[in-house]
Amino acid sequence: MHKRDGTCRPASFCGPQCAHRREPYFPVPSSSASNNFNLLRLLAAVAVLFNHGEFLYRLSLPVPFAGHSLGAVGVYVFFFISGYLIAQSWERSQGVLDFAAKRVGRIFPGLIVATAFSVGVVGAAMTTLPQAAYWRHDTTWLNLINNAFGIATVQVLPGVFEHNPFARAVNGSLWTIRYELLMYALLVPLAIWGIRRSRFIYLISAAILALIWLTVATRPGADLLATAPDWLRDMWSVKDITALGVYFFIGSAFAQHRVSSSGWMGGIGVLALLLAAWTSHPSLIQLGLWLGVPCCTFCAAHLGAGWLRGRPHTDLSYGVYIYAFPIQQALTQVCLAQGWSLGVCLVLSLAATVCMAVVSWFGVEKPAIEWTRRSLRRHPRLTHHTLNNGVNISP
């Protein structure tokens, strides 16, 4: 579903000003210009859009694998690619604060503006309440704050989409943001302490998460959150944490071990997905997806002619993902009222969402990324201080 940070030359090539830079545990793979990750993330975001488009219009879902919709598979692709790229971002970072600043600068500016758009434009335009009542309502402000901070447990706005087929939900895609942030938080201690103890720490983490998922799936009583307070169960699901975490840390392991794409990897991925499509056993389906999605995604990322690699040069996937749902809900309401077909609704939704994604990238996300990088370069002592207080443990 995130943009890779620029690479930095080794200290030996950039002079004494970079001498404090920690050497990576593994060589950082080549830049996004040599792969199709931007394109795959965009396709994954569009898959989520089309998946939600049909569901919001007539409450049906395209389901390529039993229990896993097309949109869910798009999310799996996002988490695998994110794990691959974020592990590299960590290795290019000067320490925890540097890494955290880059992640905050990538996630939150676009998210905050998209949330303001949902509340202040879509919600205000579509509410059945008078404007004064809408803006005085506690839920309006609770939605704004809750989603802008990436919590995304408040998905309704007063008087908005109350008669849509999927009633009241304003931005149902944002729930994955908090899981993405959790993966970042889990990666940091693994990278700081775990790699010194085992060079397979990311693979071990993925295996542990898979075992937890399989245990909870076969023994519901093993779910520790089953008896947790409602607010905690609204935020987190053990099955979601573990299922998405497996994709993320498989991606991190691919980066750590400099995995190269090959024909046999693609073959294994296709066979795993065929198994997942053929079987009806939930655990076998999940295992097939855990193996098939990473292998096929990674091979697809390195296929194609040279002119295709690295295109598109802009990362519109995040904008498409965070703007699609409210735009689709609004257009679903309009299209159903006008008697327009699902196809018309999808075309209008895609066009409007891509336009907002372009505005988000050039007007918000890219400037925020560049500002974050400039700020970090202007304050090198902050990250140097972090390194000297125990973060830099590389040999």
Distance CA 252, CA 82 (A): 8
Distance CA 341, CA 329 (A): 14
Average per-residue pLDDT for the chain? 88
Within 13 Å and on the Cβ side, how many CA atoms surround 371? 11
Contact between residue 54 and residue 342 where contact means Cβ atoms under 8 Å apart: yes
DSSP-derived secondary structure for 167-189: -S-S-TTTHHHHHHHHHHHHHHH
DSSP-derived secondary structure for 99-110: HHHHHHHHHHHH
Q: Which two tokens stand for residue 281?
A: 């056993």
Global model pTM greater than 0.85: yes
Q: Where are the alpha helices (DSSP H) in 279-341?
A: 282-301, 317-338
Distance CA 228, CA 230 (A): 6
Parse the chain into domains and list their residue ranges: 11-268+298-391
Please give the backbone phi and psi of residue 65, each rounded to the nearest 5 degrees, phi first.
-130, 135
For residue 68, list its beta bridge partners: 65
pLDDT tens figures, 325-382? 999 999 999 999 999 999 999 999 999 999 999 999 999 999 999 999 999 988 776 5
Distance CA 393, CA 131 (A): 56
Peptide bond into 312 cis (omega under 30): yes
- What pLDDT was estimated at residue 279? 96
pLDDT tens figures, 138-180? 999 999 999 999 999 999 999 999 999 999 999 999 999 999 9
- What pLDDT was estimated at residue 307? 57
Q: Which residues contact 124 (CB under 8 A, 6 or more apart)?
A: 131, 134, 135
Contact between residue 106 and residue 369 where contact means Cβ atoms under 8 Å apart: yes
- Return per-residue pLDDT of the chain as tens, 395 residues: 444 333 343 333 333 333 334 444 555 454 556 789 999 999 999 999 999 999 999 898 889 999 999 999 999 999 999 999 999 999 999 889 999 999 999 999 999 999 999 999 999 999 999 999 999 999 999 999 999 999 999 999 999 999 999 999 999 999 999 999 999 999 999 999 887 788 899 999 999 999 999 999 988 777 778 888 988 999 999 999 999 999 999 999 999 999 999 999 999 999 999 999 999 999 999 999 999 999 999 999 998 756 566 677 889 999 999 999 999 999 999 999 999 999 999 999 999 999 999 999 999 999 999 999 999 988 776 555 444 333 333 33
Contact between residue 209 and residue 242 where contact means Cβ atoms under 8 Å apart: yes
